[in-house]
Amino acid sequence: MDLLVDLFNDYTLRTVALGAALLGISSGALGGFALLRRQSLLGDAISHAALPGIALAFLLTGSKSPLVLVLGAGVVGWFGSVLIAALTRRTPITYDTSLGILLSVFFGFGLVLLTFIQRMPNANQAGLDSFLFGQAAALMQRDIMVIVGIGSVVLLITVLFWKEFKLISFDPDVAQTLGFPVRALEHLLTALLVAAIVIGLQTVGVVLMSAMIIAPAAAARQWTDRLGVMIVLAAIIGAVSGVGGAVSSSLVPNLPTGPIIVVVASIIVLISLLFALRRGFVFRKVREWKSGRALRVDAVLVDLYTLASQHETAGYPHSERVLNVMSTMSGTARRTLKLLETLELARPIDAERWALTSEGEERARRVIDRQFGGRS
Amino acid sequence: MTSSDQNGQDWAVDVRDLTVAYREKPVLWDVDLQVPDGVLMAIVGPNGAGKTTLIKAILELVPSAAGSVLIHGQTYQKDRSRIAYVPQRGSVDWDFPTNVLDVVTMGMYGSLGWFRRPGSKERERALKALAEVGMESFADRQISQLSGGQQQRVFLARALVQDADVFLMDEPFQGVDATTERAIVDLLRSLRKRGKTVIVVHHDLQTVPEYFDQVLLLNVRRIAAGPVEEVFTEDNLRATYGGRVAFVSAVLARRDD
């Protein structure tokens, strides 16, 4: 409760939360498209590639103004994504390999530059290394302004080009035959991804920023089969993770923001993977078990019916052992027979023998109709 | 241009000297193809013959090294809306979060133009196209829950809403159930009745004479093209499929039954 009160009263905290929410929303939404286009790891490469951009921007201008640093990160991050596309298209190197090469080369170069900057004699450089793991507590109003400004533009463009982005994500070839400039739209989508990433770097850090791209989208995909719902959900999950991480790290001294955000997002992903209604692991298992059970019930019912049909009444009792032998699907028939009893489809005659109830007879006939097209 | 143009013949699709190469290896070599209006044409040939590449080159989805393509006497860039493309079923991710109606509606995105969202008029047209392929009751179905044949029919419906004159279909019969095969054949005939031209990459040689008016036999080069009864001969098939002579004879034997 205290936290909520703080959130509304404390100006700094409110600013941080607002910034984290907006960067979560834009990275969640753009991450959704990246996930569907099988480009989740592109976010990882871009965020790592942005590090030398930050360092170069500082070296060239001597300024730590957020707009300058974000611009540097954006330009170099974008350059990185162009290089990946070119490597994949023009050389025999595959997509995953070019991602890996680019990520490590750029990140390594960025670390070298950062070390170099650290050794420089002037004191102005302090704080640049917080771009590695993110430091929400250091966010100032001008940082938030940059996040809000760029984040809003990113979201606005995404809404404007919604139908086009959906089309090129699902079927780029047909998009081109319909007259859309697919290559340009793909570049635009990548540019938006770069923008969504670079505004998060100061808060989340280059090392873990990719989690803000991948995790909300992966979690959201579990809950819905509608693109619109998925993107909105990814944005909300992004905002929740962002705010959760940023606020807790502002409250606890020396708690880095990025890792906390990732922990929050990972918990949401885990819950989604396990418990989502249609795609979640748990409910899928339950459904499998249920349909397996239904098959077993039907199998034993049909067996009982077949046996009984050799006698004058369908209710003629038969031994459990015969049923065990008859059907491979019924496995051990006892458990299924017990279930049949609770469902009032069969009843035990004595310790050994079982017979169909009239309801069981009815259902057995329906099953046979369904399976053999009414030929029996 | 050659003399056929001076006859006043306005081909639905007119391909001249089309050559496509991947990393210096020619996939299509100097292909000529003239398709008249209102015919159903099959493209047949062995794997790697360039059937899919030919369709994609006509649509400029792959760059061609040489040659020209005219659709009703015009270049493709001038009016893309006259061609509808039905790609192979496996070319998209069927786990994409969308439903059948939405995929069919995508066929109208081009005519809607930038920024405009589809409305009730588009919805009606999409439902009509779905009815034409016998899928109207699947409109709200999530696409991951479709069988292969149903996926194919959704793709056909998406092409139908484009109101095109020329249809290019890449293996629509590949791995579909009997219901879908019937539905596609009916659709092809109905398109022909409406004067549309349909070019289909086809694998099943046996059904070529039954389903199609014209055939292109392709193996990197054009082996033969024209009316089925004239060019779908043993010699041409042998030339197309090379050494697999036994296979070719079997096809023709069954055809003559």
- Residues A167, B106: C-beta atoms closer than 8 Å: yes
Contact A51, A58 (CB under 8 A): no
- Give the closest of B106, B110, B117 to A179, CB-based: B110
CA B210 – CA B181 distance, rounded (Å) = 13
Report the gap between the CA of A49 and the closest CA in chain B (Å). 29
- Work out the average pLDDT over B3-11: 55
Per-residue pLDDT reduced to its tens digit, A8-44: 667 777 888 888 899 999 999 999 999 999 888 899 9
Per-residue pLDDT reduced to its tens digit, B38-55: 899 999 988 888 999 999
Same domain, yes or no: A248 and A303: no
Same domain, yes or no: A353 and A266: no
Chain B residues within 8 angstroms (CB to CB) of chain A: 56, 59-61, 80-81, 83-85, 87, 91-93, 96-99, 103, 106-107, 109-110, 112, 114-118, 142, 144, 158, 162
Per-residue pLDDT reduced to its tens digit, A113-170: 988 888 877 656 667 888 888 877 777 888 888 999 999 999 999 999 999 999 999 9
Same domain, yes or no: A187 and A298: no
Domain endpoint, select from A279, A312, A334: A279
DSSP string over A160-171: HTHHHHHHHHH-
CA B92 – CA A167 distance, rounded (Å) = 11
Segment 171-190 of chain A within 8 Å of chain B by CB = 171, 173-180
CA B126 – CA B101 distance, rounded (Å) = 7
Q: Which residue has the tokens 């995953």?
A: A96
Same domain, yes or no: A250 and A168: yes
Residues of chain A in contact with residue B101, where contact means CB-CB under 8 angstroms, are none
- Give the closest of B59, B96, B115 to A177, CB-based: B59
Give the model's confidence band at B245: pLDDT under 50 very low, under 70 low, under 90 confident, else very high.
low
Per-residue pLDDT reduced to its tens digit, A320-368: 777 776 655 445 677 778 788 887 888 888 777 888 888 888 888 888 8
Per cent of chain A over pLDDT 90 is: 41
Same domain, yes or no: A186 and A111: yes
Per-residue pLDDT reduced to its tens digit, B117-145: 899 999 999 999 999 999 999 999 999 99
Average pLDDT, chain A: 85
Report the gap between the CA of A179 and the closest CA in chain B (Å). 6
Query: Tell me, what DSSP letter sits at residue B116?
Result: P
CA B29 – CA A289 distance, rounded (Å) = 56
Question: Which pTM value belongs to this model?
Answer: 0.82
pLDDT at B161 over 90: yes
CA A369 – CA A357 distance, rounded (Å) = 18
What ipTM does the predicted assembly reach? 0.89
Same domain, yes or no: A108 and A165: yes
Q: What is the pLDDT of residue A337?
A: 80
- Residues B99, A225: C-beta atoms closer than 8 Å: yes
Select the more confidently predicted residue: B73 or A51: A51
How many A-B residue pairs are in contact by the CB < 8 A criterion?
Answer: 76
Q: What is the pLDDT of residue A160?
A: 95
- Residues B91, A173: C-beta atoms closer than 8 Å: yes
pLDDT at A293 over 90: no
Residues paired with residue B215 on neighbouring β-strands, in sequence order: B42, B226
- Give the closest of B56, B85, B92 to A170, CB-based: B92
Whether A336 and chain B come into contact, CB under 8 Å, resolves to: no
pLDDT at A174 over 90: yes
Q: What tokens appear for B184 in the block?
A: 């596609």
CA B243 – CA A25 distance, rounded (Å) = 61
Residues of chain A in contact with residue B98, where contact means CB-CB under 8 angstroms, are 166, 170, 225-227
Same domain, yes or no: A262 and A306: no
Lowest pLDDT segment from B9-13, B149-153, B164-168, B169-173: B9-13
Residue B205: count of CB within 10 angstroms of its CB: 22
- As for how many domains chain A has, the answer is 2
The domain that holds A262 is classified in CATH as 1.10.3470.10
The helix (H) or strand (E) run that includes residue A271 is: helix A257-275
Domain endpoint, select from A239, A254, A279: A279
- Residues A170, B98: C-beta atoms closer than 8 Å: yes
CA B30 – CA B66 distance, rounded (Å) = 8
Same domain, yes or no: A275 and A288: no
Per-residue pLDDT reduced to its tens digit, A81-122: 999 999 998 888 999 999 999 999 999 999 999 888 888 776
Q: What is the pLDDT of residue A126?
A: 67
Residue of chain B minimizing CA distance to A221: B97
For Cα atoms A90, A93, A95, give the angle at the middle one, nearest 5 degrees: 95
- Work out the average pLDDT over A242-271: 84
Same domain, yes or no: A200 and A240: yes
The domain that holds A337 is classified in CATH as 1.10.10.10
- Residues A36, B96: C-beta atoms closer than 8 Å: yes
Whether A363 and chain B come into contact, CB under 8 Å, resolves to: no
Select the more confidently predicted residue: A373 or B90: B90
Same domain, yes or no: A350 and A230: no
What is the domain range of residue A139?
Answer: 2-279
Domain endpoint, select from A279, A305, A336: A279
Measured N-to-C along each axis, helices A40-61 and A66-90 cross at an angle, to the nearest 10 degrees, of 130
Whether A90 and chain B come into contact, CB under 8 Å, resolves to: no
Same domain, yes or no: A31 and A114: yes
Q: What tokens appear for A302 in the block?
A: 């049909």
Whether A157 and chain B come into contact, CB under 8 Å, resolves to: no
- Residues A163, B109: C-beta atoms closer than 8 Å: yes
Q: What is the pLDDT of residue B141?
A: 93
- Residues B109, A167: C-beta atoms closer than 8 Å: yes
Q: What is the pLDDT of residue A315?
A: 67
- Amino acid found at A222: Q
Select the more confidently predicted residue: A185 or A262: A185
Same domain, yes or no: A197 and A297: no
Residues of chain A in contact with residue B61, where contact means CB-CB under 8 angstroms, are 173, 176-177
- Residues B80, A179: C-beta atoms closer than 8 Å: yes
Task: Give the residue from B79, B82, B115 with the most A CB atoms within 10 Å of its CB, the best one to mutate.
Answer: B115
